[in-house]
Amino acid sequence: MKTNTDAVLSAKSLRYFLQLIDSMSYTQAAQILGITQPALTQQIKKLERAVGSPLFGQMGKKLYLTNAGLKMEETAKALFSTVNNAVDSIQQYTKSDTGAISLGILSTVEARVIDQFLIEFNQKYPDITLHVGFYNRTELWDKLDNNQLDLAVLYLPDHNATVKNMKQYMAKQIYSESVVFLTHDPEDKFDKMTHHRWVTYPKDYYLPQIVHRFYAGQFVDGKLSTPVTFTSPYQLIKFAEQTDYDTYVSKSFYKAHQAEIALSPVDIKDETNFESCFIYRKNKSEIPRLANFLKEWDKFIDERDYDSRLKNVKVSI
């Protein structure tokens, strides 16, 4: 027997069928649906002809579901659930004010301004779920490459990036950075400091690689003496302050915490310029909520620039 699948999958017939199950009364179901009782009966009979079996039985005045009816109920609910989930997923993908955004931030980036933006963004778009994590550089590029992040905050240029195809990414500048060298004696010159002992980030971190790229020729034997390393700028500062070691941090970190840092910055003729950026796949910019996220960032910075926001960060080391 050939099944009339058009009738079986008619959204109207299935909706009427499920409403009749809820009411177990043709009269009540028809009233709720806003149709006549004969019209409802016609739709149910259409389904029964399609499956070749009665869906409802009757004992006295009471309706009950047959075995075929129970199976059709299960199928109808599963179909509507699938359709509803698909519509919900599509809406979340296409709307600018719903869905989820995953953001990864380099653990050594001064993120207080970004934190403030995320708070304001969440208040404006409470239906967008934000997933934020802090990672090292290798982890971030790997997560971007495997599409596990929508956006990442990283330093550029990154000559040691492990990403397979850099051409597939776009970058949006956050802040123009440089390295700030810190010492105990405000009269110290950089050429004298290169003979000191240093506490720095591990050598595979971005800032040590930038410092080596720009200043290796001025170091004794081409490198700084770094018997101690930390992965956190807070620990670098605290350790340096309580020893005779020198250190360095990003310009943004120094500006945000300058009032709490007892060390003195050293003037450098040639600054090491690099940028903190939002990094994302090119196709991500076509997703409305991500495009909106970046647009809201522009508004946020237009209201008050990044430097001003750094100086107003209310934190202590």
Asked if 56 and 116 sit in the same domain, the reply is no
Q: What is the pLDDT of residue 163?
A: 61
Asked if 145 and 185 sit in the same domain, the reply is no
pLDDT band for position 93 (50/70/90)?
low
Asked if 171 and 283 sit in the same domain, the reply is yes
Instruction: Tell me how far apart the alpha carbons of residues 156 and 171 are, in angstroms, rounded to a whole number.
Output: 9
Of 216, 253, 219, nearest in space to 236 by CA: 253
Q: Indicate whether 87 pLDDT > 60.
A: no
Asked if 76 and 117 sit in the same domain, the reply is no
Asked if 259 and 219 sit in the same domain, the reply is yes
| Average pLDDT of span 181-187 | 89
Q: What is the pLDDT of residue 3?
A: 47
Q: Residue 15 falls within a domain, yes or no? A: yes
Q: Which of 62, 94, 126 marks a domain boundary?
A: 94
Q: Residue 317 falls within a domain, yes or no? A: no
Per the structure, the count of domains in the chain is 3
pLDDT band for position 314 (50/70/90)?
low
Q: Residue 316 falls within a domain, yes or no? A: no
The sign of the CA dihedral 103, 109, 115, 117 is negative
Asked if 154 and 261 sit in the same domain, the reply is no
- 232-289 pLDDT, tens digit each: 999 999 999 999 999 999 999 999 999 899 999 988 776 678 999 999 988 888 889 9
Say what percent of the chain tops pLDDT 70. Answer: 90
Q: Regarding beta strands 197-200 and 225-229, do their DSSP bridges make them parallel or antiparallel, or are they unpaired?
A: parallel
* Domain around 159: 99-177+274-311
Q: What is the pLDDT of residue 195?
A: 82
| Average pLDDT of span 185-190 | 82
- 136-174 pLDDT, tens digit each: 988 899 888 878 899 999 999 887 776 656 778 899 999
pLDDT band for position 1 (50/70/90)?
very low
Provide CB contacts within 8 A for 178, sequence distance 6+. Answer: 250, 251, 271, 272, 273, 274
Under 8 Å between Cβ of 94 and 29: no
Asked if 196 and 51 sit in the same domain, the reply is no
Asked if 12 and 43 sit in the same domain, the reply is yes
Integer-rounded Cα Rg, in Å, for the chain is 32
Asked if 214 and 137 sit in the same domain, the reply is no
Asked if 228 and 207 sit in the same domain, the reply is yes
Q: What is the pLDDT of residue 55?
A: 93
Query: How far from 24 is each of 7, 28, 30, 60, CA to CA, in Å?
Result: 22, 8, 11, 13
Asked if 66 and 105 sit in the same domain, the reply is no
Asked if 112 and 171 sit in the same domain, the reply is yes
Say what percent of the chain tops pLDDT 90. Answer: 50
The CATH number assigned to the domain holding 61 equals: 1.10.10.10
